[in-house]
Amino acid sequence: MKEYTLLAGATGYLGRYIARELKRRGMPARLLVRNPRSLPGQIGEYTEVVTAEVTRPETLRGVMQGVGTVISTIGITRQKDGLTYMDVDYRANRNLLDAASAAGVSRFVYVSVLNGDSMRELKICEAKERFVDELKTSGISYAIIRPNGFFSDLSAFVEMARRGRVYVFGDGSTRANPIHGADLADVCVDAVTGVKSGISEIEVGGPEILSQREIADLAFSAVGKKPHILAIPDAVRRAVMKLARVFTSSKTYGPLEFFLSVMARDMIAPAYGSRTIAEFYREICSDDSGK
């Protein structure tokens, strides 16, 4: 009997690449989605799709049948459902883990964030790391993927460059090695088959370590404009974080505090993959020029 990999999060940026990678490797996959129409056409056609709400455990009945491994990329990024990180990044993943354990699933691959364990004061990390703690003691075999920032978030630099100015934090010298979804998907699917066996927490970033200023320069080069980089003083960044915590709800300051915190420190993980930011920027600019 074939053993499925159940993928929760296939409608998202990373999940789409993971679904394609499972297909490419000929691994039977079941995609768990809340809205099948959010799946790109091709993906839904070649894999089994089940509809359920990960935030409502009663809808998960039966979805784990025949499943060997669960991969979850479930988490709030841009969703505006009125839910908190605790509701989704923690509770919904806990619901999946409970359903997996009850069905005797052997492995759970979870996508958290790089340095999440040392940033628990941030709402998003508090929720993700609570799930990580429980996954570790659940008795199920697991892999925790700890990726650096995704290329999808770097398109903001191109949007700013098009408008003629890119803002960086501090002096713009903090460095990171963000990763393309396709390269990260490779790591996630390797974790299903245990290629990196024996390693249960996998920190991973892309092949290039670049400062904010260097990323800004690449964005200007992609849009063909002269670089004009403006620095936002660190005191302003800290003040915005404090004000947001006092005057806005956790749904607003949660994403903001995460973004403002990671931009102020070096975020460097072991390098993987081959896709570069310059290529990514060229692709999004050529896609846009064809519109």
For residue 152, what is the DSSP state?
G
Residues in contact with ligand NAP by CB under 6 A are 9, 11-15, 34-35, 38, 54-55, 73-79, 81, 83, 88, 92, 111, 113, 147, 149-150, 152-153
User: Which residue of the chain is nearest ligand NAP when measured via CB?
Assistant: 12
The CA distance from 169 to 237, in Å, is 7
Nearest approach, Cβ of residue 178 and ligand NAP (Å): 7
The Cβ of residue 265 has, within 10 Å, a number of other Cβ atoms equal to 13
Q: Decide whether 156 or 230 has the Cβ nearer to ligand NAP.
A: 156
Q: Decide whether 2 or 78 has the Cβ nearer to ligand NAP.
A: 78
Nearest approach, Cβ of residue 17 and ligand NAP (Å): 9
The CA distance from 244 to 193, in Å, is 43
State residue 175 phi and psi, 5-degree precision.
-120, 155
Q: Decide whether 69 or 95 has the Cβ nearer to ligand NAP.
A: 95
Tell me whether residue 104 is exposed, middle or buried, using C-beta atoms within 10 angstroms of its C-beta: 0 to 12, 13 to 18, 19 or more: exposed
Q: Decide whether 14 or 210 has the Cβ nearer to ligand NAP.
A: 14
Nearest approach, Cβ of residue 7 and ligand NAP (Å): 9
Q: Decide whether 182 or 227 has the Cβ nearer to ligand NAP.
A: 182
Q: Decide whether 1 or 45 has the Cβ nearer to ligand NAP.
A: 45
Nearest approach, Cβ of residue 279 and ligand NAP (Å): 18
Nearest approach, Cβ of residue 148 and ligand NAP (Å): 7
**Spatial contact of 71 and 107, defined as CB atoms under 8 Å apart:** no
Say if strands 107-111 and 141-147 run parallel, antiparallel, or are unpaired: parallel
Nearest approach, Cβ of residue 224 and ligand NAP (Å): 26
Assign 3-class secondary structure to 114-130: CCHHHHCCCHHHHHHHH
Rounded to 5 degrees, what angle do the CA atoms 78, 209, 74 make? 25
Q: Decide whether 48 or 239 has the Cβ nearer to ligand NAP.
A: 48
**Whose CA is closest to 113, among 75, 168, 151, 70?**
75
Nearest approach, Cβ of residue 235 and ligand NAP (Å): 26
The CA distance from 100 to 164, in Å, is 50
